[in-house]
A and B are shown apart, each in its own frame.
Chain A
Amino acid sequence: MACTTAPCLPVSSDEQLLACFAAGRREALDELFRRYRGPAYRVAYRLLGHEADALDAVQEGFVKALTHLAGFRGHSSFKTWLLRVVSNAALDLGRQRGRREVLRLEGPVAAEAENDGAVHLDPARGLERADLRRLLDEALAALPEAQRRTFVLHADAGLSYREVADALGISIGTVMSRLYYARQKLRTFLTGRTNS
C-alpha cells in the first residue's frame, strides 16, 4: 500500500502504517510502537519474569520484526507476527540470561506458604499484587516452553486460538491441547498456595 504524504494518523490500519514506515515516516513507527508495546511487553514479561529483560525483548522484537518486514507476507496480522517475533526474542534472551532469581518465592508469599501451606488471595491477608504476580511467574516458569508460550500469547496478549495457531504455526487443536495442559499444571501448582 502506497504511503502518501498524509499524516499517518492513529486511525490508520497496520498495513498503512507499515507502508508509511517503509517510506521512512518516523511517526508510523511511533504509532506501531504505541499500539503494540503493551501486549508485546506482557508477553515478554510473562516469559522472562523480569521487567528490564522484558523491555529488552520488546526492543529486540520490534527491531527484528521491522528489519525483516520483507518476511511478513500478511498471512496473519502484523500484531500476530510481531508477537511471534517478540516471544522468540524473549525466549532467546531467557536462554542467554536465564530466568532471574526473582521468580523464586520470596517475602510474604514464601513466608505464608511455609506457615500454613496456603497463600490467600484476599488482600486483607497480605497477598499484594506483586506477590500474586511472583506466584504466577513461578508457576509459569515451571511449564514446558511450548505450553508457556501458547498460554502467554492467549492469556496475556489476548490472541484468539486462531491467532495463536498462526503465530506458532500449529493447529488450533494443538493450541487447545497446550492451553488445557498448561492450565492444569498452573492450577496444580497454585493449589495449596492460594485459597481461591
Chain B
Amino acid sequence: MSRRLNDENCRPELLAAYVDGELDNATRAEVEAWLASRPEAAADLAAQRRLARLCDEAIPPAPSAADWAAVLSNIEAGLARRPARKARVAVGLGLTGLVAAAAAALVAVSLRGGADEPFPVLSADEVHIESMDDADVGALVVGEPPLREPLELLTSADVKVHGIDPDALGRLASVSTAKDAAAPLFVVMPPAAEAGELP
C-alpha cells in the first residue's frame, strides 16, 4: 500500500478483507495499526466475525450416502447421454429486419487459430447474460437463432457480395469487409441512423 491508512482511505471493504484473511502482509499491518488507534472499530470487526460464525454453524443438511450415490449415478447417466462436446462453435448471426432484407449475408467466419475445435456449442438455455453495457444492447440477438447447427466459418476473403437488395422500406445496408483477409470479420451494417430502430 502506497500510503498510510487513515479515516478517509480505510474503506469498510478493507476491514472485511482483513477479517477474511485476504490482505497481504503489508496491508494487514497497516490495517492493524489503524485499528489500534480506532478501538471503536472493534465492534464492527466482532460483528463481522459473528456473521461468519453464524454461517459456519448454519451448515446445510448433509445428504445421505444413498443421496450421493444417486447423484453420481445420475451424473454418469447424464454424461452417457451427453458425450463430451466436440468444441465447434455455432455462430448464428441473427439478421433481423433491415439486415436480413438487405443482404443474404449470414456470414460465419473461420476462427481456425490453433486448436482444431476451439469453442463448445452452446444451446440457448446454457447462456446466461449477467450484465450488458447499454451501448451493446443493439447488438443483442433476441430469440432463436436462424440456424440450429454449426456453421462453416469463413474468412472475409471467402465471401463475394454480388448485390444487395433494399429492404421493404427501400433502405440499403452498407457492407464492409476487413482489409486483412485473415481477419475474421465481415460486417453488414444497417444505416447508422436507423440501426436503433431494428426490432
Contacts and interface: CB of A to CB of B under 8 A. Distances in A.
B75 A29 contact: yes
B125 A92 contact: yes
Interface of B: 12-14, 16-17, 20, 22, 47-48, 50-52, 54-55, 57-61, 63, 67-68, 70-72, 74-76, 78-79, 82-87, 117, 119-120, 125-126, 128, 130
Interface of A: 22, 26, 29-30, 33, 37, 41-42, 45-46, 51, 54-55, 58-60, 62-64, 66-71, 88, 91-92, 121, 129-130, 132-133, 135-137, 146, 154-156, 160-161, 176-177, 179-180, 183, 186-187, 190, 194, 196
Grouping DSSP codes into helix (H, G, I), strand (E, B) and loop, the A interface class, with mixed when no group exceeds half, is helix
Contact of A92 (B79, B85, B128): B128
B176 to A, nearest CB: 31
B87 A70 contact: yes
A59 B75 contact: yes
Contacts of B63: 41, 51, 55
A157 B68 CA distance: 18
Contacts of B12: 180
A22 B87 CA distance: 14
A90 to B, nearest CB: 11
Contacts of B79: 29, 63, 66-67
Contacts of A41: 60, 63
